[in-house]
Structure 1
Amino acid sequence: MTTVLGLVFLALMVLGAPIAFAMLIAGLVAVWLKPGLSELVVMQNLFSGLDSFPLMAIPFFILAAELMTGGALTDVLLRFAARLVGMRRGGLGHANILTLTFFSGISGSALADAAGPGAMLIKMMRKAGYQDAYAAALTASTAIVGPIIPPSIIMIVYALTDTSVTITGLFLAGVVPGFLIALSLMVVNHWISVKRDYRSSPDLIDPAPLLRLFWRALPALMLPVIILGGIHLGIFTPTEASAAAVLYALIVGRYVYGTLRWSMLPDILFRSALMTASILFIVATSAVFAWVLTVGQIPQQMAAWIAGMQLSPIELLIAINVLLLLVGIFIEPLPGVMIMVPILAPLAEAAGLNPLHFAIVVIVNLTLGMVTPPVGGLLFVTSAVSGVRMGPMVREMAPMLAALFTVLALLTFVPAFSTWLPNLLGYAH
């Protein structure tokens, strides 16, 4: 059964089928060829995979992000970021990183960051004299912060897959790693800017006082603070926080910034529904795939095999990192979490690893797959929106990938980067 599942899944992936359809068809074929099983179990698992109240947070967070970006939000964040770091060497590159980092606290999606504000930032860097391929590579690398700094769609799905962690705990655990990634990329940008003589861009810096620009950007920057603060204070649950985020985004976009018009709502709702449908379809088909794996005893067999190797916790983390890096090259983070976490989380728990520490390592690792050649999804999206060919962009990725993998190593060997903030606020799991 599991052999059929794996062969059909790999064949469909090689043929270029979308991963959701590959998982669904592979699961259906495996069940169909297994005597005594009815194909109805596929439909049952499709619906049971979506029968979860916390999953309602996904469409609400997507809608909140669309509402916040319906007006001049990107311009507001860019002006503030440019005022903070624009006068430094390679200032526009730093502003790119800072803007996308701010934006990640709103969107929760790497692809949305790259296709939205990322496209605009690439054009600005091109006009300022940066090489096209470098601007695209920097934008793709920074966009991976989107799923790591809260709110994060991947973290919501992870918490539903592994009940030993909470959504709030994961949100808090992602804050420090997200800023570490941004800092590492700023170091790389400074080094390359010195090497290539990319100077600051004073003509792009708003002459308004920094405090005024901060005050202008504050309503947008407050969204993740309101989400985390409201959950921590017990005002609402994570799912209720997503609905509160929609209301806050609507008020801020319409009445604070005044850039969100009622006529824009149909398009915003359509885009939100389309993105929600694609994500939830992946969640549903992943449930089918995971059920077939469970029936075939694959998680138990793999757990027994790895346990027999008697690896230390650090050795286990290294082995899991290597495995996930290989998986992440070919599979997007969301289905990667749905497929791999039920197998790997029990191993981590048996080895005594902190669940939040392990979760962040898994999420960051799988997210890095989005910018790892040859299949990285973010590379294709960034190439499409920037008009830069994949080859030159991938060549520019080398120092950025080195920085990103250095951060992954730090997160692997120093659990405090992931666990300090959740422990401080009482969310140890």
Structure 2
Amino acid sequence: MSLVLSLTFIGMMVLGVPIAFAMLIAGLVAVAMMPSVTSLVVVQNMFSSLDSFPLLAIPFFILAAELMSGGAMTDVLLTFAARLVGKRRGGLGHANIATLTFFSGISGSALADAAGPGGMMIKIMKKAGYSDAYAAALTASTAIVGPIIPPSIIMIVYALTNPDVTITGLFVAGIVPGLMISVSLAVVNHVISVRRNYRSSDELFDGTPLFRLFFRSLPALFLPFIIMGGIHLGVFTPTEASAVAVVYGLIVGRFVYGALEFDMLPAILFRTVLMTSSILFIVATSAIFAWLLTVGQIPQLVTAWIAGMHLSSFTLLLAVNVLLLLVGIFIEPLPGVMIMVPILAPIADAAGIAPLQFAIVVIVNLTLGMITPPVGSLLFVTSAVSGVKMGPMVREAYPMFAALLLVLALLTYVPGFSTWLPELLGYKN
């Protein structure tokens, strides 16, 4: 059964079948090979995987990001970020990084960051003389911060897959790694901008004092603090925080910035439903795939095999990184978490690796796959919004990917980057 499941899944992927349908078809074929199991088990597992209160946070966080974007929040953050970094060489590249970092604290989605504020920054960078391919590569690379800085959709799914960690603990653990990624990309942008003499333009500089732009940006910047502060103080759960974010986004967009019109709501709701449906369908089909792996005792067999090798924690983490980087090339982060975490988390726990640290390593690894051909969804989205071909964009992304691998190495072998802040705030998992 396990062999049939794996071969069918790989065959579907080779044929270019979308990952969710590949898992569903592989699951149906594997169940059909089990005479004692009815095909209804596929439907039951898919529905039971969605019968979860924490999953409600996904559509609410998506809707909150859509409301804030429709309410001129993207323009406000972009202008503030551009003014903050100044007109020095590489300034617009730094503004791109800062804008997407700010926005990641609202959206929780790398694709939304790349398509929204990322698309706007690419156009501005082009006008200022930046290479089209470089602007697109920087945007795609920076957008991976979206799933790492809270709120994060992939962290919600990870916590549901592995009960050894909590959503709140993961949210807190992602803050420092997300900032490390942004800083590393800012260093790369500075070096390249100096070498190529990339400069800012006056398009985003209208003479408005920085403190006025800061106060205008405060309502948008305040949302992540409301989410994390409310959760930490026990005012609401992560799921309730997502609903609060929707109400806050509606109020700020309509009554503070005055840019959100009620006739915009149908389109906003449609985009939210479309994105939510895509994510939850992946979660549902991943559930049947993971169930079949469990029935086939694959996690137990892999755990026993690796345990028999008596690897040190250093070697184990290196092997996990290589495996996940390869998996991330072909599989999107959400199904990657659903499939790999039940197999790898027990192994990491047996090796004494902190659950939060391992979770961040897994999430960063799989997220890097979004900027790695041939599947890299961020590359396709960024290529679509920028009009830049994949080849030149990938070539420009090499130094950025190298910087991201360095950050991944630090997160892998220096646990404090992932665990210091959660432990400081009282979250052990």
Scaled by the length of structure 1, the TM-score of the pair is 0.99
What secondary structure, in the 3-state scheme, does the structure 2 residue paired with 1:49 have?
helix
Structure 1 runs of 4+ aligned residues shifted over 3 Å read none
By how many angstroms is 1:202 displaced?
Answer: 4.2
Query: Structure 1: which amino acid aligns with 2:293?
Result: L
Q: Identity of aligned pairs, percent?
A: 78
Once residues 45 and 399 of structure 2 are traced to their aligned partners in structure 1, the CA distance between those partners, rounded to angstroms, is 43
Residues of 1 paired with 2:376 and 2:274: CA distance? Answer: 22
2:84 counterpart residue number: 84
Unaligned runs of at least 5 residues, structure 1: none
Report the counterpart of residue 166 of structure 1 in structure 2.
166
Task: Report how far residue 209 of structure 1 moved.
Answer: 1.4
Aligned pairs for 1:150-299 (under 5 A) are 150-299=150-299
Aligned to 2:420: 420
Alignment partner of 1:361 is 2:370:
no
Structure 1 stretch 322-331 or stretch 110-119: which is displaced more?
110-119
**Per-residue CA distance 1:203-248 (angstroms, 9 max, x = gap):** 5324211111111111111111101100111110111111111111
Displacement of 1:139: 0.4
SS in 1 for 2:50: coil
CA distance in 1 between counterparts of 2:338 and 2:223 reads 28
Deviation at 1:75, TM superposition (A): 1.0
Which residue in the other structure is 2:373 paired with? 373
In the TM superposition, residue 149 of structure 1 has moved relative to its aligned partner by 0.4
Matched residue SS, 2:273: helix
- Shift, 1:422, TM fit: 0.6
Cα-to-partner distance string for 1:129-174 (whole Å, 9 max, x where unaligned) = 0010000000000000000000000000000000010000000000
The answer (yes or no) to whether the contact 2:128–2:200 under 8 Å persists in 1 is: no
Looking at structure 1, the residues matched to 265 and 384 of structure 2 have their Cα atoms a distance apart, in angstroms, of 26
Check conservation: 1:86, 1:205, Cα contact below 8 A.
no
Q: Which whole-Å CA distance do the structure 1 matches of 2:423 and 2:88 have between them?
A: 35
Does the aligned pair in 2 maintain the 1:283–1:338 contact within 8 Å? yes
CA distance in 2 between counterparts of 1:53 and 1:191 reads: 46
Cα distance in 2 for residues equivalent to 1:135 and 1:190: 13
Please give the per-residue CA displacement for 1:112-143, whole angstroms capped at 9, x wherever unaligned.
11111111111100000001000000000000
Q: Which position in structure 2 is the counterpart of 1:65?
A: 65
- Are the equivalent residues in 1 in contact too, given 2:68–2:74 (CA < 8 A)? no
Q: Matches of 2:300 and 2:267 in 1, distance apart? A: 46
Separation in 1, partners of 2:262, 2:195: 48
| Residue 323 of structure 1: aligned partner | 323
Work out the CA distance in 1 between the residues paired with 2:376 and 2:46. 27
* Corresponding position of 2:141: 141
* Preserved CA contact (<8 Å) 1:83 1:206: no
SS in 2 for 1:145: coil
1:9 is aligned with what amino acid?
F
Instruction: Give the superposition deviation at 1:373.
Output: 2.2
Q: CA RMSD in A?
A: 0.8
CA offset at residue 312 of structure 1? Answer: 1.2
**Equivalent residues in 2 for 1:32-71, closer than 5 Å:** 32-71=32-71
Partners of 2:68 and 2:183 lie apart in 1 by 25
- Code of the residue aligned with 1:373 in structure 2: it is P
- Read off the aligned partner of 2:137 and give its amino acid letter: A
Find the aligned partners of 2:412 and 2:77 in 1 and give their Cα distance: 32
Partner of 1:120: 120
Instruction: Check conservation: 1:80, 1:217, Cα contact below 8 A.
Output: yes
Gaps of 5+ in 2: none
TM-score normalised to structure 2 length = 0.99
